[in-house]
């Protein structure tokens, strides 16, 4: 499974400019990839106006994502805000397939230290999906701080863990970049999975600085690739499922995991 990690600055509240930037950067791909991963709210930035700028579920942002997925024969993974038919607004992570079909996950942990929690509705459903033989769990930024929410549970009937790869889209400020980097590796180790997280860079429209540190990490917590900090960067990495399965077989820590339930 080959991933393209797109660590980008985000043009503040300017979807058209962000579409152009992403399209131009993806044009530089020289070999096929399976997944394109972008930062959280890639089309607008993490703005206090996220609710006002929310797109329709089948709006222009989804149209753009469908074009990119089809053009590159890859899964396009990103978040943007969506207003549903009842007027509720979600920070919604989408995975868009080359044939135009898509799935989505609504960010479960809206960030209470910003206006996100007061503007947006928190999702309630954990989601896993399959893509080209891999089971994948999506998450968004603040979700990364909650290990119970992201626990990779063992299904005894199917004799498998829920997922092989955790994908995280983020706008994680530079002032807390050590937490971001540490939590990516912690989630990989405790869940015996690959983790890929993409964070933005640059300054946003209210002066918050982002330093990136986007990375793909293996099941031992070891870096497979790390984007250059404090700069736009575009890195591709190939993950080895056989190595993952071998490690899980030799070290089945998950069989001793504690049972629990999550109350919605």
Q: What is the pLDDT of residue 234?
A: 94
What is the mean predicted confidence (pLDDT) over 192-209? 97
Rounded mean pLDDT of 28-39?
Answer: 96
| pTM recorded for the entire structure | 0.97
Average pLDDT for residues 38-57, to the nearest whole number? Answer: 96
pLDDT of amino acid 259: 85
| Statement: residue 153 has pLDDT above 70 | yes
Average confidence (pLDDT) over 45-72: 97
Q: What is the pLDDT of residue 264?
A: 63
Given the candidates 3.30.1490.100, 1.10.1670.10, 3.60.110.10, 1.20.1640.10, the CATH classification of the domain at 2-256 is: 3.60.110.10
Give me the active site residues, please: 40, 107, 141
Confidence (pLDDT) at 10: 98
What mean pLDDT comes out for the span 248-257?
Answer: 95
**Dihedral angle computed from the Cα positions of residues 154, 157, 159 and 163, in that order, rounded to the nearest 10 degrees:** -50
Q: How far apart are CA 153 and CA 257, in angstroms?
A: 8
* Bridge partners, 106 (sequence order): 92
Q: What per-residue confidence (pLDDT) applies to 62? A: 98
User: Looking at residues 85-114, what average pLDDT do you find?
Assistant: 97
What number is the average pLDDT over the span 204-224?
97
Q: Are 229 and 223 in contact (CB under 8 A)?
A: no
Q: In the predicted model, what is the mean pLDDT of residues 212-224? A: 98
What is the C-alpha separation between 167 and 4, in angstroms, rounded? Answer: 12
Mean residue pLDDT of the chain comes to 97
């Amino acid at each position: 499974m080959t991933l393209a990690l797109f660590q980008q600055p985000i043009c503040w509240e300017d979807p058209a400019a962000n579409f152009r930037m992403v399209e131009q950067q993806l044009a530089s791909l020289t070999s096929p990839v399976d997944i394109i991963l972008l930062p959280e709210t890639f089309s607008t930035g993490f703005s206090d106006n996220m609710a006002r700028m929310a797109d329709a579920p089948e709006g222009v942002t989804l149209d753009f994502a469908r074009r990119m997925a089809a053009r590159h024969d890859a899964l396009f993974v990103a978040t943007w805000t969506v207003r549903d038919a009842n007027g509720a607004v979600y920070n919604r992570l989408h995975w868009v397939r080359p044939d135009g079909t898509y799935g989505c996950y609504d960010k479960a942990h809206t960030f209470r230290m910003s206006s996100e929690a007061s503007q947006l509705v928190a999702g309630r459903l954990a989601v896993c999906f399959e893509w080209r033989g891999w089971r994948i769990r999506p998450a968004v930024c603040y979700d990364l701080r909650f290990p119970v929410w992201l626990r990779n549970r063992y299904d005894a009937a199917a004799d498998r863990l829920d997922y092989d790869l955790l994908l995280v889209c983020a706008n994680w400020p530079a002032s807390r970049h050590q937490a971001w980097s540490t939590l990516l590796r912690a989630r990989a180790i405790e869940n015996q999975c690959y983790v890929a997280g993409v964070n933005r860079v640059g300054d946003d429209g209210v002066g918050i600085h982002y330093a990136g540190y986007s990375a793909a990490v293996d099941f031992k917590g070891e870096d497979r690739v790390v984007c250059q900090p404090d700069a736009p960067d575009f890195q591709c990495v190939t993950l080895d499922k056989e190595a993952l399965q071998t490690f899980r077989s030799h070290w089945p820590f998950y069989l001793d995991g504690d049972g629990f339930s999550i109350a919605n």
